[in-house]
């Protein structure tokens, strides 16, 4: 059996569940990737430490990578495994860079599929893998179908229909040169391409939201030591996830957990308390809190309501806005003092992490805040994934190229080639688009035939 010559890449660990994320690439380009990205020789089965720099040379993370030569890899092909820090944005960036370097994002179960097809799994395992793949792709199918039947599918259908109409106008003049057609109206074609680009952009704009939906909205809990941050996390998670003690400085490293509030998935991150005069070890913890804060989508600023409020250090407060921050006055089961006015008109909730009073109010407020990330296309909610993004970006590139061709009055066959490639890209999302539809449109629009 012959195998796909392309190299696929994907996250191999579920997002946000581990301190390290594993990204796997499999296919003939794996060894070239090692040389290009790390400027190292691809030594099989040796974990190497290196800086991961993207195509533009920007440092993304220091990582551990391992190269596996075929057939001694999981898939049986040349493979590359990259462990980076468990921050999904780093992982996403690395993945995006691998795609930019020519990898294709793997479909659900595709690594297992290749492993199986390469004979890496024996027959007894095969059945199990089949089940696994079926289960996965059924899930993937269910999810994709939902979007396909629903909002995304409708938008893709609209895009394809308009593109097919545009193509029919170009094709009519190519396929029927002898016909008595009205003069070719290139302005209309240009207008249609503009509409296509705008609508493609609208869908592309949902890609960040898509990532948020899938990876969780990053929500960082900040506050002074002992304010009850870890208690708050436990209370939202619903179990004793974080260590809690009356000692200030209990939490040294950050820790994260996925939670669901309303229809949203949040990646909750507990951080080390912001001690104005930190001990050496605390300093490292605060440094990490700062890194987390820099990439947060939402903040929960926990304040001990029984004590006068200290100000946040400026490197933290600069990230906080009324839109992304919820102030949580904790320990409301105890006698509280009058709060001093906040630096901005933040929304506030009063709770007790100990007795769980105010939890629903907090959850409602969080859900409301999360909803502001939602991107609407028309009146619908759409969230595309990395694979969709890749295809739409490809389509957009072709549409832009077509526009230039139109302006420069290049041969129609090249204009058409760009538009056809854009159609193929749309098809990668919505499934095969029958070229017959171009002819259908063409015959419906033009009086053709002798």
Ligand X SMILES: Nc1nc2c(ncn2[C@@H]2O[C@H](COP(=O)(O)OP(=O)(O)OP(=O)(O)O)[C@@H](O)[C@H]2O)c(=O)[nH]1
For 60, the enclosing helix (H) or strand (E) is strand 59-68
Among 54, 107, 333, 393, which residue sits at the site for other proteins (rule: CB under 8 A)? 107
Scan residues 116-145 and list those touching other proteins (CB under 8 A).
116-117, 119, 123, 126-127, 130-131, 133-134, 137-138, 140-141, 144
Rule CB under 6 A: is residue 334 a binding residue for ligand X?
yes
Alpha-carbon gap, residue 150 to 378, rounded angstroms: 13
Rule CB under 6 A: is residue 31 a binding residue for ligand X?
no
| Minimal distance, residue 302 CB to Mg ion, in Å | 10
CB 152 within 8 A of CB 122: no
Cis omega (within 30 of 0) on the bond before 71? Answer: yes
| Minimal distance, residue 302 CB to ligand X, in Å | 6
Give 44's DSSP letter: B
333 binds, among other proteins, Mg ion, ligand X, none (CB under 5 to 8 A by kind): ligand X
196 binds, among ligand X, Mg ion, other proteins, none (CB under 5 to 8 A by kind): none
Rule CB under 8 A: is residue 408 a binding residue for other proteins?
no
Rule CB under 8 A: is residue 412 a binding residue for other proteins?
yes
To 10 degrees, what angle do helices 386-408 and 88-100 make?
A: 40
Dihedral sign (CA 69, 71, 74, 79): positive
Rule CB under 6 A: is residue 189 a binding residue for ligand X?
no
| Minimal distance, residue 353 CB to ligand X, in Å | 4
Rule CB under 8 A: is residue 435 a binding residue for other proteins?
yes
Half-sphere exposure of residue 374, counting CA atoms within 13 Å on the CB side? Answer: 16
Give the per-residue contact string, 160-179, with other proteins (x = CB under 8 A; - = no): -------x---x-xxxxxxx
Q: Which stretch binds ligand X (CB under 6 A): 190-198, 261-269, 328-336, 428-436?
A: 328-336
Binding residues with other proteins: total (CB under 8 A): 58
231 binds, among Mg ion, ligand X, other proteins, none (CB under 5 to 8 A by kind): ligand X
Rule CB under 8 A: is residue 393 a binding residue for other proteins?
no
Q: What phi-psi label fits residue 102: left (phi over 0), alpha (psi between -120 and 50 degrees) or beta?
A: left
How big is the CA angle at 361 (ends 360 and 365), to the nearest 5 degrees?
A: 115
Q: Are strands 48-53 and 59-68 parallel, antiparallel or unpaired?
A: antiparallel
Among 83, 352, 386, 425, which residue sits at the site for ligand X (rule: CB under 6 A)? 352
51 binds, among other proteins, ligand X, Mg ion, none (CB under 5 to 8 A by kind): none
Rule CB under 8 A: is residue 436 a binding residue for other proteins?
yes
DSSP string, 388-424: HHHHHHHHHHHHHHHHHHHHHT--HHHHHHHHHHHHH
Give the per-residue contact string, 230-269, with ligand X (x = CB under 6 A; - = no): xx------------xxx-xxxx------------------
To 10 degrees, what angle do helices 412-430 and 386-408 make?
A: 170
Rule CB under 8 A: is residue 414 a binding residue for other proteins?
yes
Give the per-residue contact string, 178-197, with other proteins (x = CB under 8 A; - = no): xxx-----------------
Alpha-carbon gap, residue 295 to 61, rounded angstroms: 14
* Closest C-alpha among 218, 208, 245, 204 to residue 390: 204
| Minimal distance, residue 337 CB to other proteins, in Å | 60
Q: Which two tokens stand for residue 381?
A: 């909610």
| Minimal distance, residue 135 CB to Mg ion, in Å | 38
Alpha helices in 259-352 (DSSP H): 280-294, 314-317
Q: Which long-range contacts (CB under 8 A, 24 or more apart) does 2-8 make?
A: 3/77, 3/114, 3/117, 3/118, 4/114, 6/103, 6/104, 7/33, 7/102, 7/103, 7/104, 8/103, 8/104, 8/105, 8/106, 8/107, 8/110, 8/111, 8/114
| Minimal distance, residue 420 CB to other proteins, in Å | 7
Contact positions vs other proteins (CB under 8 A):
1-6, 107, 109-110, 113, 116-117, 119, 123, 126-127, 130-131, 133-134, 137-138, 140-141, 144, 167, 171, 173-180, 411-414, 416-417, 420-421, 424, 428, 431-432, 434-436, 438-439, 442-443, 447-450
């Amino acid at each position: 059996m012959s195998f796909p010559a392309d190299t696929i890449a994907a996250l191999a660990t579920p997002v946000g569940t581990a301190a390290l994320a594993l990204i796997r690439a499999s296919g003939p380009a794996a060894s070239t990737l090692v040389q290009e990205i790390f400027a190292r020789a691809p030594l099989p089965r040796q974990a190497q430490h290196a800086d991961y720099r993207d195509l533009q040379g920007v440092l993304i993370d220091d990582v551990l990578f391992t190269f596996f030569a075929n057939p001694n890899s999981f898939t049986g092909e040349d493979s590359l495994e990259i462990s980076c820090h468990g921050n999904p944005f780093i992982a996403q960036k690395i993945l995006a860079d691998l795609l930019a370097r020519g990898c294709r994002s793997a479909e659900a179960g595709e690594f297992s599929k290749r492993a199986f097809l390469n004979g890496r799994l024996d027959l007894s395992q095969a059945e199990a893998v089949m089940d696994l793949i079926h289960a996965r792709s059924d899930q993937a199918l269910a999810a994709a179908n939902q979007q396909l039947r629903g909002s995304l599918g409708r938008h893709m259908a609209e895009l394809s229909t308009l593109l097919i109409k545009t193509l029919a106008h170009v094709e009519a003049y190519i396929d029927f040169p002898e016909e008595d057609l009205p003069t070719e109206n290139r302005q209309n074609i240009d207008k249609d391409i503009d509409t296509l680009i705008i609508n493609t952009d609208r869908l592309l704009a949902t890609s960040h939201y898509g990532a948020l939906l899938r990876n969780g909205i990053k929500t960082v809990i900040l506050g002074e030591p002992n304010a009850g941050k870890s208690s708050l996390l436990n209370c939202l998670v619903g179990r004793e996830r974080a260590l809690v003690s009356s000692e200030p400085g209990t939490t040294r490293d950050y820790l994260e957990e996925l939670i669901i509030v309303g229809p949203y998935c949040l990646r909750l991150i507990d951080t080390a308390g912001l001690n104005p005069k930190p001990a050496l070890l605390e300093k490292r913890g605060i440094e990490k809190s700062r890194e987390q804060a820099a990439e947060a989508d939402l903040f929960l600023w926990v304040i001990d309501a029984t004590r006068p409020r200290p100000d946040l250090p400026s490197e933290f407060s600069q990230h906080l806005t009324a839109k992304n921050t919820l102030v949580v006055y904790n320990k409301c089961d105890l006698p509280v003092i009058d709060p001093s006015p906040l630096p901005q008109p933040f929304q506030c909730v009063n709770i007790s992490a100990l007795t769980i009073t105010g939890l629903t109010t907090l959850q409602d407020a969080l859900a409301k805040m999360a909803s502001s990330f939602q991107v609407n296309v028309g009146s619908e909610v759409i969230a595309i994934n990395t694979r969709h993004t890749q295809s739409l970006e490809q389509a957009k590139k072709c549409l832009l190229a077509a526009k230039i061709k139109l302006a420069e009055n290049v041969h129609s066959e090249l204009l058409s080639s760009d538009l056809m490639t854009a159609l193929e890209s749309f098809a990668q999302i919505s499934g095969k688009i029958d070229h017959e539809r171009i002819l259908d449109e063409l015959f419906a629009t033009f009086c053709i035939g002798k």
